Amino acid sequence: MALPKRKISKTRGAKKRTHKKISLVSLNKCKHCGRMKKPHAVCPYCGYYNGKQIIEIKEKKKEGKSKS
């Protein structure tokens, strides 16, 4: 099995790992409903993309139990 010929210094190892980081997800405002969504994707709240309705979103009903 192959082995490294020399020890890799801490600085050199850290330089290799500089690109292995998690980046923040970029978000844009939906032009139709104004909520935040991923760019170049259908809005998960209203279903619009590029000014056209692509998918129909069903509204969630809030069912509250009455205490009578």
* Residue of 28, 23, 25, 64 lying closest to 43 (CA atoms): 28
* Residue of 30, 29, 21 lying closest to 54 (CA atoms): 30
pLDDT band at 43 (very low <50, low <70, confident <90, very high): very high
Res 64: pLDDT: 66
User: Residue type at 39?
Assistant: P
User: Residue type at 41?
Assistant: A
pLDDT band at 45 (very low <50, low <70, confident <90, very high): very high
Q: Is the pLDDT of residue 37 over 80?
A: yes
Question: Where are the domains positioned within the chain?
Answer: 25-58
- 15, 25 Cβ separation under 8 angstroms: no
Q: Is the pLDDT of residue 25 over 80?
A: yes
Q: Is the pLDDT of residue 68 over 60?
A: no
Res 4: pLDDT: 86
